[in-house]
């Protein structure tokens, strides 16, 4: 029996995708092998990777002057890959600090560049996003980095910062493909796949051409954007199963009506869940209403001595992985693309019932 899996990542995947992968697990495309067993340089696999890239370009409306790279090392690898590729020794780079993932990106960038934190939301205990006017690059900055969706805090930007000529870099790990975006506003977009794009092990980078070819000499080749672009992301053996599953997920997304339809669905799911939380004194979401994430919805119980019981009874009801991140506690419901409205409805019903029994 499938549960409703509210994990923040690795996260739930569409059942249709899992069933298709299962049906061709031992014989992919009449090769007599699984997709994991074919050469990454075979024409069949190269075609699958090309289809995944083409679908991604179509769904995200990626302009022609951007490269799409399939890398490894996760978003965390890119915390180093970005300063190594986009800044020179001694450069200043700008970062916005909106919570846990911003902080990790900042700590890593400090190994390679002078980090200037242009906006910092610690005063609100990371329950807000900065005023758009505050997100301005500093003089001579190589790029400005921000985290559009903070997966742990459940804080999401309702706007795209305007950085003028300074390239805007976005860690979209937990928001990519959740709605349409205007790629041309960004110099670089990246994300680990395991939230909205497939299994762990694949990291996506979408980077504008003028930012490719500037890597510092000591950059590992597998993270050198030019080397990887020239090799079609196959400088070494790529995460073939992850690329294949990304392709299936993108086909599924297209079948669902693409990102505009998905965005409407995600908005409706989030609104319903926040309304249920706000409508009860028993539950509370600490995030400022204009900064609430559509993807990760943290909430706390008025009486935190009930947390364990809540989680245990939820799991019994088939609602799993609702514990908040270990650094913050409480609850967190991650409701990425693969979480249907029925899952959100089931959670809300459970929350109401739990409140009735314990309130």
Q: What three-state secondary structure class fits 8?
A: coil
Q: Is 223 annotated as a binding residue?
A: no
End-to-end CA distance of the chain: 30
CA distance 4 to 315: 9
Interface positions, 142-181, toward ligand PLP (CB under 6 A):
147, 151, 171, 173-174
CA distance 197 to 31: 25
CA distance 246 to 20: 13
Beta strand 203-208 with 66-71 is antiparallel
Interface positions, 6-25, toward ligand PLP (CB under 6 A):
9
Q: What is the rounded radius of gyration, in angstroms, for the C-alpha atoms of the chain?
A: 21
Burial grade of 306 (CB within 10 A; 0-12, 13-18, 19 or more): middle
The nearer residue to ligand PLP, 172 or 276, going by C-beta atoms, is 172
Task: With CB under 6 A as the rule, give the number of residues binding ligand PLP.
Answer: 12
Q: Is 41 annotated as a binding residue?
A: yes
Sequence-distant (≥ 6) Cβ neighbours of residue 261 within 8 angstroms: none
Q: How far is the CB of 290 from ligand PLP (least distance, A)?
A: 19
Which of residues 14, 74, 242, 263 is near ligand PLP by CB under 6 A? Answer: 74
Helix ranges (H only) for the chain are 15-23, 43-60, 74-86, 100-109, 225-230, 240-255, 258-278, 307-316, 341-358
Query: What are the distances in angstroms from CA 9 to CA 34, 169, 213, 217?
Result: 25, 22, 32, 33
Q: Is 267 annotated as a binding residue?
A: no
Q: Backbone phi, then psi, for 18, in 5-degree steps?
A: -65, -40
Q: How far is the CB of 134 from ligand PLP (least distance, A)?
A: 21
Which of residues 17, 60, 75, 347 is near ligand PLP by CB under 6 A? Answer: 75
Q: How far is the CB of 169 from ligand PLP (least distance, A)?
A: 12
Which of residues 154, 187, 192, 238 is near ligand PLP by CB under 6 A? Answer: 192
- 195 given a catalytic annotation: yes
Q: How far is the CB of 40 from ligand PLP (least distance, A)?
A: 21
The nearer residue to ligand PLP, 38 or 179, going by C-beta atoms, is 179
Q: Which of 28, 94, 171, 223 is catalytic?
A: 171
Could you tell me the two tokens for 1? 């029996």
Contact flags string 99-118 toward ligand PLP, x per CB under 6 A? --x-----------------
Q: Which of 94, 103, 195, 223 is catalytic?
A: 195
The nearer residue to ligand PLP, 74 or 324, going by C-beta atoms, is 74
Q: Is 240 annotated as a binding residue?
A: no
Question: Could you tell me which residues are annotated as the binding site?
Answer: 41, 75-76, 101, 151, 171, 194, 236-237
Question: Could you tell me which residues are annotated as the binding site for L-glutamate?
Answer: 41
Just list the catalytic residues. Answer: 101, 171, 195
Binding site for ligand PLP (CB under 6 A): 9, 74-76, 101, 147, 151, 171, 173-174, 192, 195
């Amino acid at each position: 029996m499938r549960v409703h899996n509210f994990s923040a990542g690795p996260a739930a995947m569409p059942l249709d995708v899992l069933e298709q992968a299962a049906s061709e697990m031992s014989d992919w495309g009449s090769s007599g092998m699984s997709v994991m067993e074919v050469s990454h340089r075979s024409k069949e696999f190269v075609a699958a990777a090309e289809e995944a890239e083409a679908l991604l370009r179509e769904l995200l409306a990626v302009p022609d002057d951007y490269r799409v790279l399939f890398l490894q090392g996760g978003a965390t690898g890119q915390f180093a890959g970005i300063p190594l590729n986009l800044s020179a020794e001694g450069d200043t780079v700008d970062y916005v600090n909106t919570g846990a993932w911003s902080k990790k990106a900042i700590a890593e960038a400090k190994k390679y560049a002078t980090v200037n934190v242009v906006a910092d939301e610690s005063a609100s205990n990371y329950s807000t996003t900065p005023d758009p006017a505050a997100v301005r690059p500093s003089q001579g900055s190589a790029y400005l980095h921000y985290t559009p969706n903070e997966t742990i805090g459940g804080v999401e930007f309702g706007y795209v910062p305007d950085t003028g000529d300074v390239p805007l870099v976005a860690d979209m790990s937990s928001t990519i493909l959740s709605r349409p975006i205007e790629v041309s506003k960004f110099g670089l977009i990246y994300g680990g796949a395991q939230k909205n794009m497939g299994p762990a092990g694949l990291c996506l980078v979408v980077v504008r051409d003028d930012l490719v070819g500037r890597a510092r000499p000591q950059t590992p080749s597998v993270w050198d954007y030019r080397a990887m672009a020239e090799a079609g992301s196959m400088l070494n053996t790529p995460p073939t199963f992850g690329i294949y599953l990304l392709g299936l997920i993108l086909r599924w997304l297209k079948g669902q009506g693409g990102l505009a339809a998905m965005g409407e669905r995600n908005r409706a799911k989030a609104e319903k869940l926040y309304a249920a939380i706000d409508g009860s004194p028993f539950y509370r979401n600490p995030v400022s209403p204009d900064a609430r994430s559509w993807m990760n919805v943290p909430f706390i119980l008025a009486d935190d001595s009930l947390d364990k019981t809540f989680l245990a009874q939820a799991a019994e009801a088939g609602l799993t992985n609702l514990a908040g991140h270990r650094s913050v506690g409480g609850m967190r419901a991650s409701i990425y693309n693969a979480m249907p409205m029925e899952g959100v409805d089931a959670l809300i019903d459970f929350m109401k019932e739990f409140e009735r029994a314990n309130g």
